[in-house]
Amino acid sequence: MVDLPMSALMPHVEPRAGETAPEKPGPNAIIGSFDKGLNIFEFLIDSDEPIRIVDVAREFGIDKSSALRFLNTLERHGLAQKNPLDKTYTVGARIEYWAKSLRQPKALVDIARPYLRRLSELTGQTSHLAIIEGDRAILLEVMPSDSIVSVRQAAGDWEPLYCTAVGKAILAHMSPAEQERLIAQMHFRRLTETTITSAKQLRRELDRVLDEGVAFDDGESNPHVSCIAAPLLDRHGVPLASVGISMVTSLHEGGPRQQVPMLAAVRRIADEITASLL
């Protein structure tokens, strides 16, 4: 049997009188919708103040429904951030992560990588390294688990600080002034039944993080995922980043706080990375 390309099976049709054959895409052909999306993203970056849906519609000559879809797409990828109060948009945290990755040496990631690998081996869970950018925790590096069932994550993923273990681990060790500045910027939104929904509740949780040396996400952003994290501190006690693990909640009875061997492993690896940074 001989496999023929699809074009060989299609009949050749001559164009009708007065018609021209459709042009083949040239080497400089572009995807129009993608091009417009990039232009809208550039418009967002260049704007001196938050933009509205109507601003995008007016600037690019499109209807408000189309403008909303473009902005929703940017928001889904972390490139735009929507203010739920006034429905305006600003640049998202992921572009800050990209910029930081390009301009800063990756010494921290390089140092942490073998420790993350060992943390995944010790716990059987996906491990990760995170930093704070604005009011979000962003994963700098992820080490997947070899377990058949595990949490899938990727570098660049982000979530709000108030509902992540890695975010709370860093936030708890910040100076009171810096901590309060970040809390004042937060818009608490209930994502699951266990989500922290107020500044008062978050402050109580941060006090517990300081007492215990580790932070928890007990299904607070996703009811099926729980996390444990510990901070990486410099010689002055200032948090540089945090390291943690994510687990499938239903597979670990009692939640993350009851996983004693995993707690010990996270603390141990965090201490070892911290020591290597000093």
Q: 222-244 as b/e, with b when 16 or more CB fall inside 10 Å? A: beebbbbbbbbbeeeeebebbbb
pLDDT of residue 1: 36
pLDDT-based confidence at residue 103 (cuts at 50, 70, 90): very low
pLDDT mean over 142-164: 83
Residue 154 vs residue 38, higher pLDDT: 38
pLDDT of residue 145: 83
* Model pTM score: 0.62
Contact in structure between 172 and 231 (CB atoms under 8 Å) = yes
Question: Could you give all domains of the chain from N- to C-terminal order, each with its CATH number?
Answer: 32-97 (1.10.10.10), 102-277 (3.30.450.40)
Model confidence pLDDT, tens digit, residues 213-225: 999 998 998 899 9
Distance CA 257, CA 255 (A): 6
Highest mean pLDDT among 88-97, 133-142, 145-154, 186-195: 186-195
Distance CA 269, CA 226 (A): 19
Question: Backbone phi, then psi, for 142, in 5-degree steps?
Answer: -130, 135
pLDDT of residue 26: 65
Highest mean pLDDT among 23-27, 90-94, 112-116, 218-222: 112-116
How many CB atoms lie under 10 A from the CB of residue 124?
16
Contact in structure between 138 and 81 (CB atoms under 8 Å) = no
Model confidence pLDDT, tens digit, residues 138-151: 888 898 887 777 78
